[in-house]
Structure 1
Amino acid sequence: MRRSERKRRDPDLGVLSSRLLFAVQEELFDTLAQQGHAQLRPQHGAVLAYLDPDGSRAVDLALRSGQHKQVVGKLIDELEALGYLERHPDPADRRAKLVVPTARGLDQMSRSDAILAAIDQRYAEALGPDRYAEFKRTLAEVTERQRAWRAGPGER
């Protein structure tokens, strides 16, 4: 059997997780575009999905998202130019900046939360709430174990 045929019939964890990610991102960003946020791209989620409404430091966004600081910095620049966030001095540390969502950013965050809640609800109804909750717990555990393995023996 050819590799592509095997992956289609019995997809591995990487294929399954990427299919899920891309399908959720496609629905999320298509719906956001219909709701007035057409400039956003899935890459922007590395910042927006982890941004606190009262602001976050760029270094924290990088840690939460698993992205390099340079990537997060570029995304922050893009989102600032699009009017989704601003940089403000961090009151807890004058040397640091807080990345703070604007009204447009808060609107996007609220809409994203609602869209993702609807996706969750749809799958809870399709699979049953207990089965879907178990799926999410298992997926979270697999994700954390993979992150710990990637971090090295001291983190496992």
Structure 2
Amino acid sequence: MGRSRRKRQDPDLGILSSRTLFSLQRELFTKISELGFPGLRPRHGAVLAYLDDAGSRATYLAAQSGQHKQVIGTLVDELAALGYVERRPDPDDRRAKLVVPTARGRELTAATDAVLAAIEAEHARAVGEEAYAEFKRVFRLVAERQTGLSSDAET
């Protein structure tokens, strides 16, 4: 059996993760656009997924998302032009800047959280609440082991 056929019949973690991510992004960004948040693309998730309500430094966003700081800078520029974030001086270090969600950005976060909760609820209904809860628990452990992070380190 060829490698391609084997990967289709028994996909590895990378394939399963990428299929899940790309499909989730497609559904999320389509629904977010339909809810009145235009111009967003999956690449913006590198900022939006890790952005703290009180603001985050670009270096933190880069470290969390695995993107280069220059990429994060470009994404922040795009999100600022769309009205979702702004740069402000960091009160702890006036030389540094924080990326802070605007009121519109906080509306986006609330909408995104609701869409993601609905998607997860659909999965839980499809496979069973207990099975889905166990899947998330195990997937979180695998992700932590893979990335070398613990849940405590992310908060």
* Normalised TM-score (structure 2): 0.91
The yes-or-no answer on 1:57 pairing with 2:52 is no
The yes-or-no answer on 1:13 pairing with 2:13 is yes
**Secondary structure, counterpart of 1:100 in structure 2:** strand
Matching residue of 1:152:
none
After the TM superposition, which of the residue ranges 113-122 and 65-74 deviates more from structure 2?
65-74
Task: Give, as a single letter, the amino acid of the residue that structure 1 aligns with 2:119.
Answer: I
Q: State how far apart, in whole Å, the 1-side matches of 2:14 and 2:91 are.
A: 41
Q: State how far apart, in whole Å, the 2-side matches of 1:90 and 1:147 are.
A: 28
Matching residue of 1:154:
none
Matching residue of 2:103:
103
After TM superposition, the structure 1 = structure 2 runs for residues 36-55 of structure 1, keeping only pairs within 5 Å, are 36-55=36-55
Q: State how far apart, in whole Å, the 2-side matches of 1:49 and 1:13 are.
A: 22
Q: State how far apart, in whole Å, the 1-side matches of 2:94 and 2:148 are.
A: 33
After the TM superposition, which of the residue ranges 140-149 and 84-93 deviates more from structure 2?
140-149
Task: Give, as a single letter, the amino acid of the residue that structure 2 aligns with 1:102.
Answer: T
* Normalised TM-score (structure 1): 0.90
Deviation at 1:40, TM superposition (A): 0.3
Deviation at 1:66, TM superposition (A): 2.1
Matching residue of 1:70:
70
Matching residue of 1:4:
4
Matching residue of 2:22:
22
Task: Give, as a single letter, the amino acid of the residue that structure 2 aligns with 1:50.
Answer: Y
Q: What is the Cα-based RMSD across aligned positions, in Å?
A: 1.4
**Secondary structure, counterpart of 2:50 in structure 1:** coil
Where structure 2 has 5 or more consecutive residues not aligned to the other structure, the ranges are 150-155
Where structure 1 has 5 or more consecutive residues not aligned to the other structure, the ranges are 150-156
Q: State how far apart, in whole Å, the 2-side matches of 1:144 and 1:138 are.
A: 10
Deviation at 1:10, TM superposition (A): 1.1
Number of corresponding residues: 149
**Secondary structure, counterpart of 1:36 in structure 2:** coil
Matching residue of 2:122:
122
Q: State how far apart, in whole Å, the 2-side matches of 1:137 and 1:66 are.
A: 22
Deviation at 1:34, TM superposition (A): 0.6
Report the identity percentage: 62
Runs of 4+ in 1 over 3 A off after TM superposition: none
After the TM superposition, which of the residue ranges 24-33 and 54-63 deviates more from structure 2?
54-63
Task: Give, as a single letter, the amino acid of the residue that structure 1 aligns with 2:57.
Answer: R
After the TM superposition, which of the residue ranges 60-69 and 8-17 deviates more from structure 2?
60-69
Q: State how far apart, in whole Å, the 1-side matches of 2:142 and 2:72 are.
A: 25
Q: State how far apart, in whole Å, the 1-side matches of 2:130 and 2:97 are.
A: 42
Matching residue of 1:112:
112
Write the deviation string for residues 22-50 of structure 1: whole angstroms up to 9, x where unpaired.
Answer: 11111100001111122000000010111
